[in-house]
Structure 1
Amino acid sequence: MPPRKRKASTTAMAATPNTPPDKKVKATGTTGQTGIRAKLTGLTSAMTSLTSTSLVSRAKTSKSSGKSHQSKPAGFYQSSSGNGSPSPTEKNLNKLFDQYRDNPKEAPDTIGIEGAQRYLTDIKVELDELAHLAICDLLQCPSIGEFERDGFISGWRSASAGSKQYDATANQAQYVDTVRKKLSADPDYFKQVYRNSFKLAKPEGQKSVPMDSAIDFWNMFFRSGKGGIEWNTASTKWLDLWCEFYESRNKRPVNKDLWNMVGELVMKTKEPEGESLSWWTEDGAWPMAVDDFVAYVKDKRKADGDTMDTS
């Protein structure tokens, strides 16, 4: 049976209209990759206590240890006021950043794995909670377990407002509490963090996220236990179905288009009439994996004697 043609235009849910549907590519293994825990575990006894979590057990390639680090020239981090000198907040942030550097001589503008673990502990962030990824997004982390000076300073500067300055770990921990609440209350913010986490989930130098790593991240984002949202409706456990389908039928790495559209699928199925799948059409702009998933759910419902209208 020839593949279905896709619409040139998008549906209301398709946020990336010019991105081609996910291509059927050969799955790749995850040997040698080191997920969130593997990047940060083994450094202190506190990290080993995280062994029960699923997300941080998955693989993600570490940044090369041979990466070149060059210190920024004096005056690089200047006040946005234009007076040529760093503001008190910027000075405090620079001093704070310096406290967590792993190798000040070789990498003066980088916080590495050990420093990242200490810093996250000090601002009361657990490695396997969604707020961790939100902070990585705010501070423009190049990878999990690594902070760079420019992203660190510009991120906390952007979070500051009026007299409230986040230039010490105590008030940054307070901001993390705000982030946790925002993730559960603001769908647009949740969507932003989810989409931007693609670069953290994929191995360096690759264009896709390995299947098992993607499943771990989906379990983090779409279960409420660690700050995510529940992808369930009245009679359908969507996340379980999606993971079951992906592991048994699709078995492919997840490209950026599919990653983004899974987030759209979650929101679509949670709409008042979303559970019935009546919104889906064969010539819609969804990636092929989503089309196949809809067919999978319909077949499963028929086999289980489900009378819900999915036409």
Structure 2
Amino acid sequence: MPSRRRRREATVPDEVAPKRSRTQTPSKDTATEFSKKRCLTWFQEYSGPDDDCLGPEGMEKFCEDIGVEPENIVMLSLAFKLNAKRMGFFTAEEWMKGMTELQCDTITKLQNRLDYLRALLSDPTCFKNIYRFAFDFARDKDQRSMDIETAKAMLSLVLGKNWPLFSSFHQFLEQAKYKVINKDQWCNILEFSRAIQSDLSNYDEDGAWPVMLDEFVEWLKDQRGVSGESGMPT
């Protein structure tokens, strides 16, 4: 998930820590039963013994330990399972409740659950829930909408690799007047990406899409007209 800290620009890699071979004997670590005490001690390695919130510095170390970049979408899936309220932070309550559900109280156990967390993103219903969660997770809590820069980063994370029109939509947002995206717009972007063909052949001008998406279609048609293309986006 995008980090709020100022740090070096990084792409969103697909790779995580090397997977254990199926023929490899499970380690003693994974064979032990879940322990809430061990889980809390693990949390405190990143938060400090007297702090009930894991912040950006602890998050960076946590990601390093499990072998996942903070910008990797699997971190959004984990935040969803922890029902985290604030990007870049996990509270002790969120950690304990979520990790108990995942039955993870060590680094190795969580690494062995990464494939499960990634699989949630491949399930249409689960992905829709994670996508909707991402809006409230990433927005400033004193604002009802998400600022456009955060929205572009989050859309790149959740739709960038799976929506053929994402590159065009990103270009549209770059030149559009929008400074924020509200939740209705956010949810409809996902529905639009699933319903409308890349050539816009099934787009209905009388449909109930938000004005933003109607403007995107008009902009995209103009772009294709200028480039002399009528099919796939530029």
TM-score category by the smaller chain?
Answer: 0.7 to 0.9
CA-CA distance at 1:88 after TM superposition:
5.2
Question: Please, what is the CA RMSD of the aligned residues?
Answer: 2.5
Q: Aligned partner of 1:156: which letter?
A: M
Post-superposition CA distance 1:191-228 (Å, at most 9, x none): 222221112321231111111221122222223xxxxx
Task: Find the partner of 2:77 among 134, 141, 157.
Answer: 134
Structure 2 unaligned runs (5+)?
A: 13-32
CA-CA distance at 1:116 after TM superposition:
2.0
Q: Answer yes or no: is the 8 Å Cα contact 1:100–1:115 preserved in 2.
A: yes
Distance between the aligned counterparts of 2:225 and 2:85, measured in 1?
Answer: 46
Q: Answer yes or no: is the 8 Å Cα contact 2:185–2:210 preserved in 1.
A: yes
Structure 1 unaligned runs (5+)?
A: 1-34, 42-47, 56-86, 160-164, 224-228, 233-237
CA-CA distance at 1:146 after TM superposition:
1.2
**TM-score calculated relative to the size of structure 2:** 0.79
Distance between the aligned counterparts of 2:11 and 2:175, measured in 1?
Answer: 19
Task: Find the partner of 1:195 among 118, 123, 132.
Answer: 132
Q: Is 1:151–2:97 an aligned residue pair? A: no
Q: Answer yes or no: is the 8 Å Cα contact 1:207–1:255 preserved in 2.
A: yes
Q: Is 1:230–2:162 an aligned residue pair? A: yes
Task: Find the partner of 1:178 among 91, 116, 121.
Answer: 116
Aligned to 1:221: 158
Q: Aligned partner of 1:94: which letter?
A: L
Q: Aligned partner of 1:187: which letter?
A: P
Aligned length: 212
Aligned to 2:228: 305
Q: Is 1:243–2:166 an aligned residue pair? A: no
Aligned to 1:6: none
**Bigger RCO of structures 1 and 2 (CA < 8 A, at least 6 apart):** 1
Q: Answer yes or no: is the 8 Å Cα contact 1:201–1:209 preserved in 2.
A: yes
Q: Is 1:261–2:184 an aligned residue pair? A: no
Aligned to 1:275: 198
Question: What is the SS of the residue equivalent to 2:140?
Answer: coil
Q: Answer yes or no: is the 8 Å Cα contact 2:4–2:88 preserved in 1.
A: no
Residues 146/187 of structure 1: CA separation in 2 closer, same or farther (3 Å cut): same
Identity of aligned residues (%): 27
Post-superposition CA distance 1:271-308 (Å, at most 9, x none): xxx12323322332211101111122223233333345
Distance between the aligned counterparts of 2:54 and 2:166, measured in 1?
Answer: 35
Q: Answer yes or no: is the 8 Å Cα contact 1:113–1:146 preserved in 2.
A: yes
CA-CA distance at 1:145 after TM superposition:
2.1
Post-superposition CA distance 1:7-56 (Å, at most 9, x none): xxxxxxxxxxxxxxxxxxxxxxxxxxxx94443x5xxxxxx5xx13278x
Q: Answer yes or no: is the 8 Å Cα contact 1:54–1:216 preserved in 2.
A: no
Question: What is the SS of the residue equivalent to 2:99?
Answer: helix
Residues 38/201 of structure 1: CA separation in 2 closer, same or farther (3 Å cut): closer
Task: Find the partner of 1:292 among 203, 211, 215.
Answer: 215
Q: Please tell me whether Structure 1 or Structure 2 has the larger radius of gyration of its CA atoms.
A: 1
CA-CA distance at 1:245 after TM superposition:
1.3
Aligned to 1:13: none
Distance between the aligned counterparts of 2:223 and 2:44, measured in 1?
Answer: 55
**TM-score calculated relative to the size of structure 1:** 0.61
Residues 175/300 of structure 1: CA separation in 2 closer, same or farther (3 Å cut): same
Alignment of 1:99-138 (within 5 A): 99-102=45-48, 104-105=49-50, 107=51, 109-138=52-81
CA-CA distance at 1:170 after TM superposition:
0.6
CA-CA distance at 1:93 after TM superposition:
1.8
Distance between the aligned counterparts of 2:129 and 2:89, measured in 1?
Answer: 20
Distance between the aligned counterparts of 2:98 and 2:193, measured in 1?
Answer: 29
More helix by share: 2
Question: What is the SS of the residue equivalent to 2:47?
Answer: coil
Aligned to 1:69: none
Q: Aligned partner of 1:167: which letter?
A: D
CA-CA distance at 1:92 after TM superposition:
2.6
Q: Aligned partner of 2:109: which letter?
A: N
Post-superposition CA distance 1:217-265 (Å, at most 9, x none): 2222223xxxxx3321xxxxx1121111122134231111111111112
